[in-house]
Amino acid sequence: MARSSRPFHNIQFVDSLIVAWLKKLGVENGKGHVQQPHRLFTFLFKTSSRRHIMTSSKISSLIVEQTNPLETGRQATYTIRQVDNMNANEFVVSFPRGAYTGMRTVQKTAVVELSSHMKRLTSSLSLIKFVPENHDVEPEYVSNQLRSFRDPVKLEEKLVSLLKTGLSSFHHEDQETKIMVIVAYSHQEQRPHFAAQFLPLSSPVQHRVKVEIENKSREAPVVKDSQWVRDRAGLEKSKAHDVNEVLLTDDSGNLYEGMSSNFFAVKMDEEGKPIVMCAPLEHVLLGTVMKIVMRVCEKHRIPIEWGFPQIGDARANKWKGCFLTSTSRLLLPIEGLYFNDGSAPILFPEASEHIEFLRNQVQQEIYERACKILE
């Protein structure tokens, strides 16, 4: 005989069962009584379900901004908000002009080349002059407000606190985290902005990629100025969907760097040993992964030739291959160079064993170059 479920339709009976359970939990009103226990049970169930949904749902990105950017240490306060459908470029241009840098984690708790990122921010902020409209120089009050961000010691304290807040609050799948940090200045608000975006970082592409060549120069390449993100927006939109990056060149066929990457080519010397080629450092931004490549080359006695790689040499089959480096890409080999002027593409039919060696070494080296943020 089936057990009847009719008693559970009696609200007094339900209340009597719930009261005993709630009293064990100590859930009573100020007079020691539980009022409308069936309603309280419904509220607790809904609250628990809602909490489960919030913690299990996927977050596109997390933005952490210091609300009192002139303070440091325990005095710092932050706003934390979840944002969907905002990529790193959109995050940067959502703020006024400033200095920015893109970081990556290893094991979701450490940041690769943190000291290089801090140096990049302080040096860029020192080179950028935040001049209001109709002014010729940066006002003294602006310089005073930015002083702590231009000071390496004070910036480190601010930045590590910001990173700890973001990494401890950003919960996602097993991917590493991409972090975009910006220090900007609003003349309208007359104050700095200090913020970071935390996004899931996709695993590096394993296959070789296509790049486009564009005749365009970059002003002040040694400065990580957010104005460049605005300037390159047209190139981002116009590149083909299967193209990974746009390389900058000039009328002489000199190859500089990508929109968000460094560029290297590899050739062989007379003895059949590899030589890595890269544009002179005064003409490109010294990227953090670029520094790791330099360290790997030094460790394995692979010479670097600091002269512009030439498109003409690539067409003459003088290269064994070429590759990009960046925070998100690490080291990414190139399959072919493509041109928008009707010129035939330059293809590299075979992967270079020397580039693959460098790629593997870089992937190992990032663990050695990571600074622990979370325990």
pLDDT digits (tens, 9 = 90+) for 5-26: 333 344 444 445 444 544 443 4
Structure tokens at 199: 């996004």
Q: In angstroms, what CA-CA distances link 342 with 148, 255, 258, 309, 345? A: 50, 18, 20, 21, 9
pLDDT at 101 over 50: yes
Count Cβ atoms below 10 Å from residue 193 Cβ, excluding itself: 17
Structure tokens at 189: 């608000």
- pLDDT at residue 59, as a whole number: 55
Structure tokens at 323: 């590759």
Q: Which of 107-121, 175-189, 193-207 has the lowest mean pLDDT?
A: 193-207
Residue carrying structure tokens 């394995």: 300
Q: Where in the chain is the domain with CATH 3.30.470.10?
A: 61-201
CA dist 37 and 195 (Å) reads 45
| CATH number assigned to the domain with residue range 209-369, chosen from the 4 options 3.20.10.10, 3.40.50.410, 3.40.50.720, 3.40.630.40 | 3.20.10.10
- pLDDT at residue 196, as a whole number: 99
Of the segments 35-44, 216-225, 264-273, which one has the largest average pLDDT value? 264-273
| CATH number assigned to the domain with residue range 61-201, chosen from the 4 options 3.40.50.720, 3.40.50.620, 3.30.470.10, 3.30.43.10 | 3.30.470.10
pLDDT at 53 over 50: no
CA dist 366 and 343 (Å) reads 38
Q: In angstroms, what CA-CA distances link 289 with 117, 328, 371? A: 11, 9, 15
Q: What integer is the mean pLDDT of 342-362? A: 96
Who wins on pLDDT, 57 or 347? 347
pLDDT bracket for residue 40 (50, 70, 90): very low
Q: Where in the chain is the domain with CATH 3.20.10.10?
A: 209-369
Cβ neighbors of 105 (< 8 A, separation 6 or more) are 111, 112, 167, 176, 177, 179, 201, 370, 373
- pLDDT at residue 350, as a whole number: 92
Which amino acid is it at 225? D
pTM (2 d.p.): 0.82
pLDDT per position as a tens digit, 278-317: 999 999 999 999 999 999 999 999 999 999 999 999 999 9
